[in-house]
Structure 1
Amino acid sequence: MRMPLRVLMAEDEDLAAEVLQEVLEDAGFEVLLAPDGQAALELAAAGAGFDVLLTDLRMPRLDGRELILRLRAERPSLPVVVMTGFAPPEGPERLHDGSGPLRLLTKPIDLSGLVSALRAVAHEG
């Protein structure tokens, strides 16, 4: 039996985070929830194990772009799914450092598409 994928999710909107967590857990993922990028970075630094990062881009304290850079400094092949209502005009290339798989999803998030994207990047990484 395969272990469930562990997702570190950084999302600062409480209601969105609750809905996403429930959907992901129903789909068989384990979810570590962080209210912003700084909290996600602190969880990772404390040794929290996770397979893939799911992050919003615009968050207080530490945004998603900086979170990706800092986590990938330690884990260059970390799979990432970014969800945002404000996609960078230059697309995912602005977020991608070329080291690990990355998918960019725009809000409102298609929940089945999110589940598929998480599984896809986790198996590419």
Structure 2
Amino acid sequence: MSNAYRDTRHVPLEKIITRLKELADAITRGGESRDREFTMRIPAECDRDADLVIAEAATRLQQLEAANRDLQAWFDDARAEAEKAQKRIEDLENVATSIRRDLKLRAEPDWDGSGQQVVNLSASIWDELNCVLDIKGNRPEGK
């Protein structure tokens, strides 16, 4: 006789799984084995009585299904937010590309005649734009 648990809620999931497998095996074998495994015990054994174990397994499955629904909704919301963020990033990259292109159009020949085009910018905005656009050095956009 097992009296380790006062309530089916306290029976570890592994014990419930093991017991469900035993009950399935007893059903398959049939006869005395089935009758013995499906006998109700007095006092009730929360980790052995078939009706209690099956009912608790059903309850836990319902709880898992509800938790899964909640998680799925959370993941769906997170995915939608990630898609919105990705769209916003693309928009910002387009704006940064347009700003960079506009700055290049306004460029003037370097005063020392080196042939480099320069635009007077404060706070290294050119480098920041290149960083945002993942452009190394002076290479043109898209290359």
Which of the five TM-score ranges fits, normalised by the shorter chain? under 0.3
| Structure in which a larger fraction of residues adopt strand | 1
Which structure has the greater CA radius of gyration?
2
Q: Which structure would you say has the larger RCO, counting Cα contacts within 8 Å and 6 or more residues apart? A: 1
